[in-house]
Structure 1
Amino acid sequence: MYLETISDDQATGRIAEIYASQRARMGFVMAASRCFTARPDLLPIYNDFIDQVRADFSLSTRDWRLITLIAAKHVPSTYCSYVYGKQLVEDFGSKEAILAVHRNFRDAGLSPRDVAMLAYAEKVARNASAITEADIGRLRRVGFTDCNIADIALCAAFRCFVARFFDAVGAGPEATFIDDDEDFRAALTVGKSY
């Protein structure tokens, strides 16, 4: 971390609560959370926002992870690619399946629904100003509601924001997210190397 942040022994109030909750859930406090304490007022805002977005997310956890993986690739964010790539192995059952999606989701055996979702997320991450009503029409034709489409856009755009912030302040992946498989790790190293 490039910036001074609030350590566990310095944490009080809401920050201490957020740290304790994350430690209970994961066994550690992620740099992705800790980095927001360089401005102490931000962590509770960030935490409440992401909790609310995820609580009301109209798609599956798998969809959240897929959208994030594709958006992270184009930021480019190695940290987010490592975290979500590793989580997706649980959803897909193999690292090879994740690497196929990461390389070219259009040719990875995904459903037309997943391909449309990821094509839209990719466009949000690369250049949202290029999105047209035709892009929305493609999503509706494969069954997405307007609420679903808003959630895809929110998930991809949110990843662009936070991933850039993480890199800018030096938040990097925890050891648990750094895969022992060198080929898998290398493929997901899209930005900074760790």
Structure 2
Amino acid sequence: MPGAERLSWLRVPTEDELPPDVLELWRPSLEKLGFVPNVLRLYALRPSRLLAWNAWYDEAMKGDSGLTKAEREMIAVVVSVANRCPYCIAAHGAALRKLTKDAALADAIAADHTTAPLEPRVRAMLDYALALTLRPATMSEDDVVALRAAGWSDEDVMDIAEVTGLFNMSNRMASGLGWAPNPEYESLGR
């Protein structure tokens, strides 16, 4: 389409070349949001990998955890801002606004979580996620001890590390392949 904004630096598969399970994966987003997030369209270039990634994403972000869904989205935002990933900042900033019903808080976390009005326990979680993102080779048991001291269980710490890892990987996919965020994210939760 002439004049259309590119969604990726790679070819975007058309719906008619996708297997039914990928199209079924899109259905809830269409029904709930009114659009298909570009990550689902763009990752569909490799359908089996999209389905595997989405299963991991759903478990890490929505599965059983001592972290709330909003806390997991806070990690997604802080990691994505640190990695300067436009796609994930837009998508997860919107998700955080929707989950917290507090656009000002979500925007404050995206601007600088260290100055956002957060409980010390949550700030410790985000400090850990940021450290793991920016300086993984310097992480030590002391970092885990600090999370325990802030009130997180070992299972919670594992979840914090996993969500951090998930978004470092996702940020690299989005940034490395030029994935454009959906424009609809800008107004979600505002």
Same fold? TM cut 0.5: yes
Q: Say whether 1:104 aligns with 2:112.
A: yes
Give the distance between the partners of 1:177 and 1:9, measured in 2 at CA. Answer: 26
Q: CA deviation at 1:156?
A: 1.0
> CA offsets, 1:92-139, max 9 Å, x none?
6233x3333233322322111011000001011112221111111111
Aligned twin of 1:47: 54
> CA offsets, 1:25-76, max 9 Å, x none?
3222211112222223211111222122232333101101111111001112
Give the distance between the partners of 2:117 and 2:50, measured in 1 at CA. Answer: 39
> Structure 2: which 5+ runs fail to align?
1-7
Q: Is the 8 A contact 2:88 2:171 kept in 1?
A: yes
Per the alignment, in what secondary structure is the counterpart of residue 41 of structure 1? helix
Aligned twin of 1:113: 121
Q: Is the 8 A contact 2:57 2:166 kept in 1?
A: no
Aligned twin of 2:135: 127
Give the distance between the partners of 1:88 and 1:56, measured in 2 at CA. Answer: 18
The alignment's C-alpha RMSD in Å is: 2.1
Give the distance between the partners of 2:142 and 2:179, measured in 1 at CA. Answer: 37
Question: Between the two proteins, what is the percent identity of the paired residues?
Answer: 23
Q: Say whether 1:168 aligns with 2:151.
A: no
Which shifted more, 12-21 or 63-72? 12-21
Give the distance between the partners of 2:127 and 2:117, measured in 1 at CA. Answer: 14
Per the alignment, in what secondary structure is the counterpart of residue 110 of structure 1? coil
TM-score normalised to the size of structure 1?
0.83
User: Which portions of structure 1, spanning 4 or more consecutive aligned residues, are displaced by more than 3 angstroms?
Assistant: none
TM-score normalised to the size of structure 2?
0.85
Once the two structures are superposed, the pairs formed by residues 1-194 of structure 1 within 5 Å of their partners are 1-53=8-60, 54-90=62-98, 91=100, 93-95=102-104, 97-179=105-187
Give the distance between the partners of 1:5 and 1:154, measured in 2 at CA. Answer: 29
